[in-house]
Structure 1
Amino acid sequence: MASSVSEATSSDAALRRFLHGLPGVDQVGAEQRAAGLGTRSIKTTAKAWAIDLAIRMVDLTTLEGNDTPGKVRALANKAMHPDPLDPTCPSTAAVCVYPDMVATAKKTLGSSGVKVAAVATAFPSGRAAMPVKLADTRDAVAAGADEIDMVIDRGAFLSGRYLEVFEEIVAVKEACGDAHLKVILETGELQTLDSVRRASWLAMMAGGHFIKTSTGKIQPAATLPVSLVMLEAVRDFREATGQMVGYKPAGGIRHSKDAIKYLVMVNEVAGEDWLDPDWFRFGASTLLNDLLMQRNKLKTGAYSGPDYVTLD
Structure 2
Amino acid sequence: MPLDMAWVRSVQANTSAIERRCATLPGRRSIKKEHQAAWLARAVSCIDLTTLAGDDTEGRVRRLCAKARQPVSPGILSALGLEGLTVGAVCVYHDMIAPAVEALEGSGIPVAAVSTGFPAGLSPFHLRIAEIGESVAAGAREIDIVISRRHVLQGDWQALYDEVAEMRAACGEAHMKAILATGELGTLRNVARASLVAMMAGADFIKTSTGKESVNATLPVTLVMIRAIREYEARTGIKVGYKPAGGISKAKDALMYLALMKEELGDRWLSPDLFRFGASSLLGDIERQLEHHVTGAYSASWRHAMG
Instruction: With the length of structure 2 as denominator, give the TM-score of the two structures.
Output: 0.95
1:271 aligns with 2:266: yes
1:46 aligns with 2:35: yes
Hey, what does 2:80 align to over in structure 1? Answer: none
Deviation at 1:84, TM superposition (A): 4.1
**Sequence identity percentage:** 46
Instruction: Name which of 173, 176, 180 aligns with 1:178.
Output: 173
The RMSD of aligned alpha carbons is 1.2
1:74 aligns with 2:63: yes
1:33 aligns with 2:29: no
Hey, what does 2:89 align to over in structure 1? Answer: 94
Deviation at 1:120, TM superposition (A): 0.3
Verify the 8 A CA contact 1:52 1:89 in the aligned structure 2. no
**1:141-156 equivalences in 2 (<5 Å):** 141-156=136-151
Deviation at 1:89, TM superposition (A): 6.2
Verify the 8 A CA contact 1:83 1:89 in the aligned structure 2. no
Q: Distance in 1 between matches of 2:125 and 2:167?
A: 9
Verify the 8 A CA contact 1:137 1:148 in the aligned structure 2. yes
> 3-state DSSP class of the match of 2:278?
strand
Alpha carbons of structure 1 residues 151 and 306: separation in structure 2 relative to 1, 3 Å = same
> 3-state DSSP class of the match of 1:207?
coil
Hey, what does 2:2 align to over in structure 1? Answer: 6
Hey, what does 1:121 align to over in structure 2? Answer: 116
Deviation at 1:85, TM superposition (A): 3.6
Q: Distance in 2 between matches of 1:47 and 1:133?
A: 42
The residue type paired with residue 249 of structure 2 is R
Unpaired runs of at least 5, structure 2: 78-82
Q: Distance in 2 between matches of 1:149 and 1:164?
A: 19
1:288 aligns with 2:283: yes
Deviation at 1:252, TM superposition (A): 0.1
The residue type paired with residue 2 of structure 2 is S
Q: Distance in 1 between matches of 2:209 and 2:216?
A: 5
Hey, what does 2:46 align to over in structure 1? Answer: 57
Length, aligned pairs only: 300
Hey, what does 1:21 align to over in structure 2? Answer: 10
Alpha carbons of structure 1 residues 38 and 89: separation in structure 2 relative to 1, 3 Å = farther
1:196 aligns with 2:185: no
> 3-state DSSP class of the match of 1:38?
helix
> 3-state DSSP class of the match of 1:199?
helix
> 3-state DSSP class of the match of 1:148?
strand
The residue type paired with residue 278 of structure 2 is G
> 3-state DSSP class of the match of 2:246?
coil
Q: Deviations over 1:120-162 (max 9, x none)?
A: 0000001022210011101110000010000000012211221
Q: Deviations over 1:260-285 (max 9, x none)?
A: 00000000011111011110000001
Q: Distance in 2 between matches of 1:130 and 1:52?
A: 40
Verify the 8 A CA contact 1:183 1:212 in the aligned structure 2. yes
Q: Distance in 1 between matches of 2:160 and 2:124?
A: 13
Q: Distance in 1 between matches of 2:215 and 2:96?
A: 27
Q: Deviations over 1:70-114 (max 9, x none)?
A: 000000110011134435361101000001111110000001011
Misfit runs of 4+, over 6 Å: none
Hey, what does 1:133 align to over in structure 2? Answer: 128
Q: Distance in 2 between matches of 1:179 and 1:201?
A: 21
Alpha carbons of structure 1 residues 293 and 19: separation in structure 2 relative to 1, 3 Å = same
Q: Deviations over 1:10-63 (max 9, x none)?
A: xxxxx3x431212x2111110110111222111212101101000000000000
Alpha carbons of structure 1 residues 130 and 221: separation in structure 2 relative to 1, 3 Å = same
Deviation at 1:237, TM superposition (A): 0.6
Alpha carbons of structure 1 residues 311 and 209: separation in structure 2 relative to 1, 3 Å = closer
Alpha carbons of structure 1 residues 7 and 66: separation in structure 2 relative to 1, 3 Å = closer
Q: Distance in 1 between matches of 2:225 and 2:184?
A: 15
Hey, what does 1:11 align to over in structure 2? Answer: none
